[in-house]
Amino acid sequence: AQSVTQLGSHVSVSEGALVLLRCNYSSSVPPYLFWYVQYPNQGLQLLLKYTTGATLVKGINGFEAEFKKSETSFHLTKPSAHMSDAAEYFCAVSHYNQGGKLIFGQGTELSVKP
Amino acid sequence: DTGVSQDPRHKITKRGQNVTFRCDPISEHNRLYWYRQTLGQGPEFLTYFQNEAQLEKSRLLSDRFSAERPKGSFSTLEIQRTEQGDSAMYLCASSTQDFNGEAFFGQGTRLTVV
């Protein structure tokens, strides 16, 4: 079985500060890992994904994440927060033989203070 | 192609009534997924189709829920005898069969059962 834990349901940063959103996963098979962003009353948009290959992946809007197998982590970072980054962020796990089904964490709400 | 579209965006219904939601996936995507998202939680997988075949259903999907994708294009999700606990955002997503990790989500249908 696979599962995802996002540490911290709310994270608040100042504009221009580092953003760090934490994600740990559990998987008995090599995982595919994703970060999605959700703005209020909207669907989810893919920020970045790790399937195979390079463990540091870059996504849209300046976000990146690093797959660390030894730590079972896939934390999301951005060097400098912008007001427009305020949203809900979801980490998700899947596997190539699961038909594309995604298992999501509970989400982290990011607030950005001016 | 304008992406995944869902209709209606909002639905208010009385307890005990039946409701039906529609999802139109991206045209070249043969996989279609339904998820349910309650307030403050990540999306939970309900079911998915590959073309017209429903390949997996979650245990969350009680016998009051039924999903169809009759021609392998659009899909409907019906909830019979709605209960207040059914109040949630229902999200549809689609992807190609050659799963590279990118599922595209619609904006969702928000159901309120009163």
Counting Cβ atoms within 10 Å, is residue A25 exposed (0-12), middle (13-18) or buried (19+)?
A: buried
Q: pLDDT at position B99, please?
A: 63
Sort out which chain A residues have CB atoms less than 8 A from B55's CB and list them: 99
Q: pLDDT at position B2, please?
A: 74
What is the spatial distance between Cα A79 and Cα A35, in angstroms, rounded to a whole number?
A: 16
- Reduce the secondary structure of A4-25 to three states and give it as a string: EEEECCEEEEECCCCEEEEEEE
Give the pLDDT confidence of B76-113 residue by residue, as tens digits: 999 999 999 999 999 999 998 876 658 999 999 999 99
Cα–Cα nearest to A34, from B43, B5, B51, B96: B43
Closest residue to B55, CB basis, from A9, A51, A99: A99
pLDDT at B40 over 90: no
Task: Tell me the shortest Cα–Cα distance from B86 to chain A, in angstroms.
Answer: 18
What is the spatial distance between Cα A114 and Cα B19, in angstroms, rounded to a whole number?
A: 43
**Rounded average pLDDT over B69-80:** 94
Closest residue to B105, CB basis, from A44, A51, A103: A44
Nearest-Cα residue of chain A relative to residue B41: A106
Q: pLDDT at position B104, please?
A: 92
Q: Which residues of chain A have pLDDT under 70?
A: none
Q: pLDDT at position A52, please?
A: 85
> Contact A105/A92 with Cβ under 8 angstroms?
yes
At CB < 8 A and 24+ separation, what contacts does B5-8 make?
A: B5/B106, B5/B107, B6/B90, B6/B91, B6/B92, B6/B106, B6/B107, B6/B108, B6/B109, B7/B109, B8/B109
pLDDT at B1 over 70: no
What is the spatial distance between Cα B87 and Cα A70, in angstroms, rounded to a whole number?
A: 39
DSSP string, A24-79: EEE-SSPPEEEEEEE-TT--EEEEEEE-SS-SEEE-GGG-EEEEEGGGTEEEEEES
Report phi then psi at A108, rounded to 5: -130, 125
Closest residue to A49, CB basis, from B42, B43, B101: B101
Q: Do A42 and B48 touch (CB under 8 A)?
A: no
Structure letter (DSSP) for residue A84: G
Give the pLDDT confidence of B3-22 residue by residue, as tens digits: 999 999 999 999 999 999 99
